[in-house]
Chains A and B, each alone.
Chain A
Amino acid sequence: MPLLTQYNEEEYEQYCLVASLDNVRNLSTVLKAIHFREHATCFATKNGIKVTVENAKCVQANAFIQADVFQEFVIQEESVTFRINLTILLDCLSIFGSSPTPGTLTALRMCYQGYGHPLMLFLEEGGVVTVCKITTQEPEETLDFDFCSTNVMNKIILQSEGLREAFSELDMTGDVLQITVSPDKPYFRLSTFGNAGNSHLDYPKDSDLVEAFHCDKTQVNRYKLSLLKPSTKALALSCKVSIRTDNRGFLSLQYMIRNEDGQICFVEYYCCPDEEVPES
């Protein structure tokens, strides 16, 4: 790979962030999982790159690409933050084709010089190099979900196939998805209320699909299906999912995703519950 073998000390000094990948799909696949809004905020630290997408002050999705995933990850500052058009970024990452020939990989070098500079993408496939410059923006405020582990009341770890099956079986014509977690039966229940009637899906806590089940108190919460549907992209890619609810009913879905090289990335979804409006 000419991009990876090329070394220029001056180049490193002018960029505050340099990240290289032998296979660009290891990045684009994870970013597609959170692509339900046009813009995203990128946070780069020594741990890696966190990409955040938010919607309607009710949903926040975070994709964590660890530094180990990159063949080269150099960051000159403690942290680097910028806002970028995620749609354009994904288009550039797949500029050589979304379904390349098997055995053909697209190498990526991503460089960012700092505040006000564009994000530069150097993509190489078969000796052909494409350079993309994407304008960056100043980051805006972020949603404060304040989801703390100490406030978590219920935690369930499922095989992703179990939850995928649920989303395909349940009647999604309704507005909400009700999640019931109880120390007794039905333990973990997903319910929808559609035009054809009510649907319920129960998971015994001793099921093969359930890897962990921690529940101290019965909790019933409802969430807008329109807010949860985008998370099915990450669900389709993942192998395991952690479902947690805190004392306020806030939902956290953490997906463990393995890329083509067997490395692990995480995608996390936060969703606000529905509250009943008191009758006046």
Chain B
Amino acid sequence: MPPKKRRRQSQKAQLLFHQQPLEGPKHHYESCQQPITHTVQVPSKPIDQSTVTSWVSPQFDRAAESRFLIHWKPHRDQARRPTRRSTCKFPRLTFESPQSSSSETLLLSNRVQPQNSEKDPPRRPLVPLFSPQSCGELSVHVPHSLPHVFAPPDIQTPDSSVRDDPISPDQKENSFPSCILGPGTPSSPEPGPVLVKDTPEEKYGIKVTWRRRRHLFAYLKEKGKLDGSQFLVKI
């Protein structure tokens, strides 16, 4: 083991003060003795009436207490107060039937007299509205079930009758516009336009493709080469 190196001890010079410490009072850490004291004692007295009946004399402001009590009460009142019901701000809606509608209904009922009303009512769900003066020829064929079926007064719908008619379907379809545009219209109220032609009852449930090719449709059905699932609309 190598010998330890001897450390060189540095010899520091003693500090030299330029000024001597100031002389002043020194604080001695000793507890300060408190003077000897004793607690005053009060005498006892027998319990007399004044002792029994003596009561506290409150030293606090009564007004402050009153304010506190007033402040205390609203919380209870608020808890007991029932929930306020909200009222609707908007006026209530009232539904009324228009006056003109009822008057027109009366007018229509007066014009047409019911005849054979019990015949074929389910087969004529919609009834066209015609003016007898403008369509004099067709008035004979107009069904007389109008009072029992309501129809829009300003709209004319085509007749959905399936009766055999001497007029061909093409002519039948063309006759309505000409009748509407007849020369006798100035004397009667002008009828409304026909929006959509009603589908004939025999064509109910048949696909549009076969409705437009009725001849081919009839031929194939006659030959038995057309199945119902092929031309009927699936519900």
Contact = CB atoms under 8 A, between A and B. Distances in A.
A155 B59 contact: yes
Interface string B41-66: 11111110101111111111100110
Contacts, number: 109
Contacts of B44: 57, 141-144
Nearest to A144: B45
Interface stretch (B29-37, B86-94, B121-129, B143-151): B29-37
Q: Name A's interface SS.
A: strand
Contacts of B42: 57-58, 143-146, 272
A47 B55 contact: yes
Contacts of A109: none
Contacts of B72: 262
Interface size class of B (residues with CB under 8 A): 20 to 34
Contacts of B69: 262
Given A45-B52, A157-B60, A277-B35, A141 B40 contact: no
B168 interface: no
B36 A211 contact: no
A99 interface: no
A163 to B, nearest CB: 14
A176 interface: yes
B37 A81 contact: no
Nearest to A141: B44
B38 interface: yes
A79 B37 contact: no
Contacts of A133: none
Interface size class of A (residues with CB under 8 A): 35 or more
Nearest to A195: B31
Interface in A119-173: 139-146, 149, 155, 157
B39 interface: yes
A20 B69 CA distance: 23
Contact of B38 (A41, A146, A242, A275): A275
A268 B39 contact: no
A222 B58 CA distance: 25
B35 A276 contact: yes
Nearest to B71: A262
Given A81-B52, A142-B47, A277-B35, A57 B41 contact: yes
Contacts of A189: none
Contact of B57 (A146, A149, A273): A149
B45 A277 contact: no
A50 B55 contact: yes
A45 B54 CA distance: 9
B42 to A, nearest CB: 5
B34 A175 contact: yes
A20 B72 CA distance: 23
A240 B31 CA distance: 37
B167 to A, nearest CB: 91
Nearest to A273: B40
A244 B55 contact: no
A134 B234 CA distance: 96
A239 B38 CA distance: 32
Interface string A45-56: 101101000001
26 contacts: A43-B52, A45-B55, A57-B41, A57-B42, A58-B42, A64-B55, A78-B53, A140-B47, A141-B44, A141-B46, A142-B51, A143-B45, A144-B45, A176-B37, A195-B31, A222-B37, A256-B58, A262-B72, A264-B65, A266-B58, A272-B39, A273-B40, A275-B40, A277-B36, A277-B37, A277-B38
Which 4 pairs across A and B sit closest by C-beta, in order of nearness?
Answer: A242-B59, A141-B44, A274-B37, A272-B40
